[in-house]
Amino acid sequence: MQQTNILVINSGSSSLKYSLLSIQPQLCLMSGLVECIGEQLAHHKYTVDNQASQQETLTIKDHADALQQVFATLQTCSAYQSQPLLCIAHRVVHGGERFSAPQLIDDAVIEAIRELIPLAPLHNPANLLGIEQARRQMPDLAQIAVFDTAFHQSLPDYAYRYALPGFLYQDHGVRRYGFHGSSHRYVAGRAAQYLDKPLSALNLISLHLGNGASVTAIAAGHSVDTSMGMTPLEGLMMGTRSGDLDPGIIFYLSRSLNMSLAAIETLLNKQSGCKGLCHENDMRTIHQHAGDGDLEAQLALAIYAYRVKKYIGAYLAVLGRVDALIFTGGIGENDAWLRAHCLENLHGLGIDLDVAKNQTPDAEVGNIASADSRTAILVIKTDEEWQIALESYQYLKKPGH
Ligand code: ADP
């Protein structure tokens, strides 16, 4: 029997998301999320064999414990009992310049991911914990790493270099890497299917707007610029991250407010963005407060939309011609108000929204552009896990593997 079932593991700093996906036929056989790892009580929510979702509250002290739960759940899945796994695919946030494609995980790849920890101190250690535990539990199974940064390795040097002394790039890897690669790549592929054109014939601007947010300019299927930088802090305003800001502010905070570097790092990553502006980072709550007349919430929404619009303008200039804008991520897929405000007054640039379609786009992929719009405006449900599984499958099926 052909094995096409892949377990995808996506470990965050205190959470672990997983799915069992079948490539042929395309099916989700099991999915789950463990949250609050390391806290007094963790939550495990999962669905197996299309049954009603289940929830447990229990103590999960670390990622090794969390993976025990994943493997215990896997044992209850009928698809797993009838067909062994092809591989385990791990999302790894930072692959630096070393990885522009999926990799079969061995000791050298683990070491390379470890060496990249200074570039992703919050993410790569959690990813490594997941990988190491999965290898211990299933030592004979192929494990593949799929890197969030890999899609952006096609950026030209004038897009990825910062205007800093060259040695910082050459000796220390200070450059733009970009993130959310699996999501941008997935929605680009779906856009090509929907528009019924080869990806190589399309120029796209992909807007991934979730808790983290990034925009990518895609020319002929390749990422040519992206808003996140050396770390996921640069670019758009996000749930709790500041996005672009004058680096001079950091010196000001240090000198005039006597803040430590660690405090500034926490401020910019965890206490800024929507949270900093209006004390909330869930977009649904922000809309409620704005509707109730909360001026800070209204301003946060206005800044968010304005900054997305500025990136759309920048990437229109980068690409010259744009066939489609793509909205994805929790906010991009669901927030009609924000989509409308990001695109306000762009008719002159060939981007024109259909107000009614924007309110209720089709479920998986919908075009919400008006009949007059030169550019399609697509709302696409992202599926990073599916993209990770697919790339792992293609990697293992390549001759020589
Ligand atoms: P993550 O980056 O953690 O994967 P998501 O892509 O799930 O995040 O996006 C989370 C964001 O999406 C939150 O700000 C949430 O408020 C927002 N969101 C989810 N559903 C809606 C909705 N119906 N309207 C507006 N925002 C929404």
Give pLDDT tens digits for 263-314: 999 999 999 999 999 999 999 999 999 999 999 999 999 999 999 999 999 9
Determine whether the shortest distance from the Cβ of 211 to ligand 1 is under 6 A.
yes
Within this chain, do residues 102 and 208 fall inside the same structural domain, yes or no? no
Within this chain, do residues 142 and 233 fall inside the same structural domain, yes or no? no
Q: How far is the CA of 71 from the centre of ligand 1 (A)?
A: 28
Determine whether the shortest distance from the Cβ of 330 to ligand 1 is under 6 A.
yes
Within this chain, do residues 377 and 235 fall inside the same structural domain, yes or no? yes
**Residue nearest (by alpha carbon) to ligand 1 atom 21:** 334
C-alpha dihedral, 374 to 226 to 277 to 301, nearest 10° = 10
Look at residue 119 and tell me if it is in a domain. yes
Within this chain, do residues 137 and 203 fall inside the same structural domain, yes or no? no
Look at residue 154 and tell me if it is in a domain. no
- What is the tally of structural domains in the chain? 2
Within this chain, do residues 308 and 210 fall inside the same structural domain, yes or no? yes
The catalytically annotated residue of 148, 225, 335, 383 is 148
Q: Determine what percent of the chain is predicted with pLDDT higher than 70.
A: 100
Question: Which range marks the domain in which residue 305 is found?
Answer: 198-384
Within this chain, do residues 10 and 132 fall inside the same structural domain, yes or no? yes
Q: Give the pLDDT confidence score for residue 50 in this predicted structure.
A: 87
User: pLDDT tens for residues 214-254?
Assistant: 999 999 999 999 999 999 999 999 999 999 999 999 999 99
Q: How far is the CA of 59 from the centre of ligand 1 (A)?
A: 27
Q: How far is the CA of 233 from the centre of ligand 1 (A)?
A: 18
Within this chain, do residues 106 and 216 fall inside the same structural domain, yes or no? no
**Residue nearest (by alpha carbon) to ligand 1 atom 13:** 282
**Ligand 1 atom nearest to CA at 213:** 2
Q: What is the mean pLDDT of residues 184-213?
A: 97
Q: Residue 66: which CATH number?
A: 3.30.420.40
**What is the best residue among 10, 308, 335, 384 to mutate for testing ligand 1's pocket, by most ligand atoms within 8 Å of CB?**
335
171's CB contacts (< 8 A; 6+ apart) are none
Look at residue 392 and tell me if it is in a domain. no
Q: How far is the CA of 201 from the centre of ligand 1 (A)?
A: 31
User: pLDDT tens for residues 80-94?
Assistant: 999 999 999 999 999
Q: How far is the CA of 332 from the centre of ligand 1 (A)?
A: 8
Q: Determine what percent of the chain is predicted with pLDDT higher than 90.
A: 91
Pick the last residue of a domain from 147, 163, 180.
147
Would residue 107 show up in a list of annotated catalytic residues for this protein? no
Pick the last residue of a domain from 116, 147, 178.
147
Please name the amino acid found at residue 264: I
Check pLDDT > 70 for residue 1. no
Look at residue 96 and tell me if it is in a domain. yes
Burial of 52 (0-12, 13-18, 19+ CB in 10 A): exposed
Look at residue 210 and tell me if it is in a domain. yes
Q: Give the pLDDT confidence score for residue 399 in this predicted structure.
A: 80
pLDDT-based confidence at 362, cuts 50/70/90? confident
C-alpha dihedral, 268 to 213 to 90 to 33, nearest 10° = 90
Check pLDDT > 80 for residue 360. yes
Within this chain, do residues 28 and 129 fall inside the same structural domain, yes or no? yes
121 prior amide bond cis, ω within 30: no
Within this chain, do residues 125 and 234 fall inside the same structural domain, yes or no? no
**Ligand 1 atom nearest to CA at 382:** 6
Check pLDDT > 70 for residue 11. yes
pLDDT-based confidence at 166, cuts 50/70/90? very high
Within this chain, do residues 233 and 124 fall inside the same structural domain, yes or no? no
**Ligand 1 atom nearest to CA at 212:** 2
